[in-house]
Every structure is written in structure tokens, then in C-alpha cells.
Amino acid sequence: MSTLPPGFRIQRETNTEEFFINMGPQHPSTHGALRLALRMDGETIVELVPHFGYIHRGMEKQAESMSYLQYIALSDRQDYLTAIQNNLGVVIALEKGMNVGVPEKAEYIRVMLQELGRIASHLVFYGCFGGDLGGQTCLLFGFKEREMIHDILEEVTGSRLTTNFFRPGGSRYDVPDTFIPRVKAFLDHLEGAMRDYERFLSKNIIVLERSVGIGILSKEDAIAYGCSGPVLRASGVNFDVRRANPYSIYSQLDFDVPVFQNGDCYDRYKIRIAEIHESMKILRQCIDKFPKEGPWRSKEKPVRLPVGRYYSEIETAKGLYATYVVAATTGEKPYRIHTRGPSFPHIAALNKMAQGHKISDLVTIMATLDPVIPEIDR
């Protein structure tokens, strides 16, 4: 009990109504080794304190003794659901330091893999959301289409989950010839699959009962806590790094940024479904515009950054993923790399959302925040 703040110690004589429950680190719904200390009144949550650090691997410290290239591989291991997107975040920061340009074909490869990664992550969200509500079948449905994305990623990058693909000035390899046809076939398949999936959950009366009006995060709170990505946009803030601070070729592509106003669990679910459709739109545009000729990377040169501070931010499926590189000496190793992950502020806002709700609702709220714990702990 010593690790608990004073409010969580039960005073046996004076207060027998409230009790304390330890949710996690071994709990099926905390999406990893996250511990939530809950002060409960019956089944209602009075207060919640998240405890992090069960899978802290000291990535930022490790980065100080690694070369820049090695850190790209490490960024896969942060948010493993958006590994390919994290790669890009690191690489963009490095490119700013090295001052290299990226050829057009490489940019298209980047954007397409980004959006595939976004769809994959949102499909996992779909599965976990349904699964955490008690519909185990959703879990498998979401993962089914995600496997197809992983097949494509495997063909392109050589690995399914931890891709380690992008390099300053381009990527490790060119995409194979089968890439575009495969993505096209996948999109045609996903079109039909999404129709089924939406029918499965979006209008289901039990899902509506359990998610509408649950875990409301107001616009002001969302901004104050530093939320980003779908969680922020579900609360009515129109902020998407792809629009606000465009990187790669997002400024040339035509897509909408879905924004919902209520900030409850159902909106956070709907916005991710809408984003899957937007990603599919982007992918179709990329397929049409994809340059057949041209270099797929700029001239290779050693990854050495001059003294300086370099910052990049991208929009992963979870939200704003920023990398801050400090190079104190010109060379292959950083002085410090800091990563700003999207899930940490979301979990910080969990108390605000879960207060006064039932323990079942906490599971729903957690699922709609879509946190990945290794990314919080790093």
C-alpha cells in the first residue's frame, strides 16, 4: 500500500463505503502492463490514478549510446501498432538535420505505407473496442483485415510488425512490382469488409447504450491535457498534423479531417471508422498518381548530423508523434533524443473521463483511447 497516494489508503473505522481496487498490471483490459489504482464506491469509480513504468526500457537513454540509424529500429518498439509511422517521425527529424531531399516516388511509398499503417492500427482499435465490450468476435474480425496489411508490409519491408523501413532520403528498398496491385486488391476487399464491420457495431443498440455519453472529454480538457489524434478530434478540435503542419506530400492530397463534437466513446469510435475511409481515399489517390519511373531514394550518404536541434512531428494513428533530436557534436550519435508519444496524455486524461462511471465503462473508455503501453513507458 505504500505506493499509493494517501487518499487510497482505506481508513477502516471512518470510511467503509469506499474501497480500493487494483486494476492491472495483469488485467485483460488494460492493453498491456498498465496499473490503474481505482477508488471505488460500489461499482462506481470515485478516483483513478494510473501507474506507468512496468515495461520501461529506457529507450531515450539507450538512444544516447546508439547511432541515429539504430534508433530508427528502436522506434518500432515504441508503439508497435504504428511502427511504420514512428519510423517516419524519426526519419523526418534526421532529414532536417542532414538536409537531404526525398524523391517523389519515395514520398508516395511513405504516404502509402503511412496510411496502410493507420488502417491497421484503427482495425486493431475496432477489434479491441468490440472485444472490450464483450464481443469477442469483433476482435478476430478486426485482426483478419489487419493480417492482409501485414502481408503487404512483409512483402515491402521484410517484416510484419517491426518494420524498420524508412531511411533518411528514402527507404531501405524499392517497393516490389506487386505492391500497387496488392494495395488495390486490398482496398477493394476492405470496402466490403468495412460495410460489414460498421453494420456489426455502429448501430448495435447495446453498443450505443454503452458508448453514447460515456467518458465525455470536453474540448477544453482535451486541449489542456495535450490529447491529440482521434481523441482530440472527437472532442471537436480540428487539429491534424497532416493539415496543420503538412509533412511529406500530404499537402498535395485531397482528404477530409473528420471532426466530431461530443467527445464521448461513441464519437471516438466513429471518428476512427471515418478515418479508415479517409485513409482509403488517400491510398486510392496515391495509387493513381504513383510514379512508375524515378529514383526511390536520394543519393545515399552517411547519417551524420551537424550540431543543432531538430524537431519533427507527424500524425500517427494514435495522434501527434514528435521526435526531438539534440546533436551536441557532429557525428553519428545523438546527444539526446526525446519522443513525445500520443498515448501518455490520453491516459493522463483517463481520470477526468472515468470519474463517476461504472467499472465496465472504464473498460470502454480505455478501449476508445486506444493506448499502447510500451509507447507510454518507452
Partner 1 sequence: MYVPSVTHPIGDFVREWVPKLSAYLPEQLQSQTLDTIVAFLVNAVICIVAVCAVNIGSAPILIYMERKVCAHVQCRLGPMRLGWHGTIQTIADVIKMLFKEVYAPSGADKLMFYLAPLIVLIAPFMVAALIPFDKNLVVSDVSMGIPLIIAVNGFGVLGILLGGWSSNNKYSLLGALRSGAQMISYEISFAMILLFVVMISGSTNLMSITQSQAGTIADWFIFKIPVLGFIGFILFFISSTAEMNRAPFDIAEAEQELTGGYHTEYNGTPFAMFYLAEYIALVTNSALATTCFLGGFHAPCIGVAFVDNYLTMVPGVVWFFAKVFFMIWCYMMVRWTFVRPRVDQLMDFEWKFLLPVNLLLLGAGAAYIVISG
* Grid coordinates given for 354: 472515468
- In the three-class reduction of DSSP (H, G, I as helix; E, B as strand; rest coil), residue 302 is classed as coil
Are 311 and 324 in contact by the 8 Å Cβ rule? The answer is yes
Asked if residue 25 has a cis previous peptide bond (ω within 30° of 0), the answer is yes
Please, what is the minimum distance in Å from the beta carbon of residue 152 to partner 1?
A: 19
Q: How far is the CB of 212 from partner 1 (least distance, A)?
A: 12
As a whole number of angstroms, the distance between CA 117 and CA 84 comes to 6
Angle between helix 265-289 and helix 104-133 axes, rounded to 10 deg: 150
192 belongs to the binding site for partner 1 (CB under 8 A): no
141 binds partner 1 (CB under 8 A): yes
Q: Which residue in the set 201, 241, 349, 373 belongs to the binding site for partner 1 (CB under 8 A)?
A: 201
21 counts as binding partner 1 under rule CB under 8 A: yes
Stretch that binds partner 1, among 98-106, 129-137, 158-166, 273-281 (CB under 8 A): 129-137
Which long-range contacts link 31-39 to residues 24+ away (Cβ below 8 Å)?
Answer: 31/128, 31/366, 31/367, 31/371, 31/372, 31/373, 32/371, 32/372, 32/373, 32/374, 33/373, 33/377, 34/347, 34/371, 34/373, 34/376, 36/350, 36/362, 37/4, 37/8, 38/359, 38/362, 39/7, 39/8
Q: Is 202 in the site for partner 1 (CB under 8 A)?
A: no
Which range of residues in 60-68, 135-143, 164-172, 273-281 is near partner 1 by CB under 8 A?
135-143
Asked whether the beta carbons of 52 and 345 are under 8 A apart, the reply is no
Binding of partner 1 at residue 10 (CB under 8 A)?
no
By the 10 Å C-beta count (0-12 exposed, 13-18 middle, 19+ buried), 191 is classed as: exposed
Q: How far is the CB of 301 from partner 1 (least distance, A)?
A: 47
34-53: contacts with partner 1 (CB under 8 A): 43
Please identify, among the stretches 124-132, 158-166, 170-178, 277-285, the one whose residues bind partner 1 according to the rule CB under 8 A: 124-132
Shortest CB 139 distance to partner 1, Å: 8
Q: Is residue 54 within the footprint of partner 1 (CB under 8 A)?
A: no
Cα 264 to its chain centre, rounded Å, is 19
What is the closest distance, in whole angstroms, from the C-beta atom of residue 46 to partner 1 in the complex? 15
132 touches partner 1 by CB under 8 A? yes
- Residue with cell string 491510398: 283
DSSP state of 294: S
Closest to partner 1 by CB, 24 or 169? 24
Q: Per CB under 8 A, which of residues 319..378 are in contact with partner 1?
A: 358-363
Q: Is 147 in the site for partner 1 (CB under 8 A)?
A: no
- Applying CB under 8 A, the residues found at the interface with partner 1 are 19, 21, 27-29, 43, 130-141, 144, 201, 204, 206-207, 209-210, 358-363
